[in-house]
Amino acid sequence: MRGVKSRRLLVIASVSGIALMLTGCSGSNGSTASGCKEIAIASIGPTTGLDNGSGRPPRDAAELAVRQYNAKHPDCPVGLLTYDTQGIPENASNLADGIAADTRIVGVVGPTFSGETAAMMPAFEDAGLPVITGSATNPTLSQQGWKTFHRIVGNDATQGPAAAVYITSELGSKRVAVIDDTGLYGKSIGDLTATSLVKLGATVALRTTVDPESVDYSAAVSALIDADADAIYFGGVSAPGARLVRQIRDAGITAPFIGGDGINSGDFVTGSGGAAVGARFTCPCINASRPIGKAQIAFSKAYSDVYGIAPGYFAAEYYDAAKLLLDAIEDGQGTRSGIQTWLKTANMKGLTKQIEFGKTGEVKAGSVFIFEVTPEGEFNQVAEVIGKKILK
């Protein structure tokens, strides 16, 4: 295997807050007695807190990729350091400088959400630390001039219009209420969807917000009743989304509920108390729990064997993200600058798609899928949107 140098074992570790737990017998300069340099990638996202269901599958998938790599390279292993943000941008911001300063870390998979990504990227950009997110979909993230930012899924600029096409064409809705949770991701995708709905001839009957920290959404529910909307679009993440759909259904409102990929989590289903059944959401991601093809089937089996459950949404995308960094390392790129240069010309056949980055770090290919929550709490793909066409 060309370009791989011997390195010591770096234990897969967990980081919560700012405390780093790492075992080993390295010297004062971070090297072992034999002079081999430690090397690791970092996984960043919520692994505890209300949105941990959105962060744990990506973390576990990255860990699986690292385990498989290390099984093939026992003399040259790579570490994985997990940083728990709880999905809160302020937490992410507090962690950013420490991650950027840790020279063992040569690449990042994540962060999970757009708000925490925006909070951390300035520190990572200054440190030349390559970042590959598989789920932070706010379009502006690739418009900041950051050279180290990469995204392997389509952004909200594709999801918003796709949702509008599905709402107007498939559901036949004319009066749509658009609600967001005030976060960077939620407001952006809400605005994009609202704009796209108007372009397609629909009326935005209500445009309002809910507080993600509140448990009482009675004001929004009352406004929905007055708006007499025939569909409800929610831009936001799973915890407030679950509370909102539950209170909407409790009020007797039966209009279809549609969201973005921020609610593609088991937390959305369990937190809704059964009210999420029938809800739909867009996602530029595959359903790895229902794999297609040999590679996806092998991944799903390996994931289930290790973690005892089927892979959640974005798990396959984060496996691909970690694989990109590991392929670069396998190709002899053991530094941040080396990996960053390698990613510019990367062209990898991943589990989810052929992955190649454009000049702004956006992936060059990808579709938007529509999923529906089943009575069993599973996510069933019901359509694929390409432009203004709906495929079933």
Q: Same domain for 336 and 213?
A: no
pLDDT in tens, 280-316: 999 988 888 888 889 999 999 999 999 999 998 899 9
pLDDT in tens, 7-20: 333 334 454 332 33
Q: Same domain for 124 and 224?
A: no
Diameter over CA atoms, the chain: 72
Q: Same domain for 277 and 190?
A: yes
Give the global pTM: 0.78
d(CA 36, CA 46): 32
Residue 7 in domain: no
d(CA 288, CA 299): 8
pLDDT at 35 over 70: no
Q: Same domain for 169 and 145?
A: no
What's the number of domains the chain is made of? 2
Q: Same domain for 42 and 121?
A: yes
Q: Is the peptide bond before 311 cis (omega within 30 degrees of 0)?
A: no
Q: Same domain for 165 and 271?
A: yes
pLDDT in tens, 138-182: 999 999 999 999 999 988 899 999 999 999 999 999 999 999 999
Of 266, 215, 213, the closest CA to residue 238 belongs to 266
Return the pLDDT at 292: 85
In this structure, of 71-80, 122-131, 207-216, 383-392, the range with the lowest mean pLDDT score is: 383-392
Share of the chain above pLDDT 70, in %: 91
CB atoms within 10 A of CB 98: 14
Question: Using an 8 Å Cβ cutoff, are 1 and 74 in contact?
Answer: no
Q: Same domain for 220 and 237?
A: yes
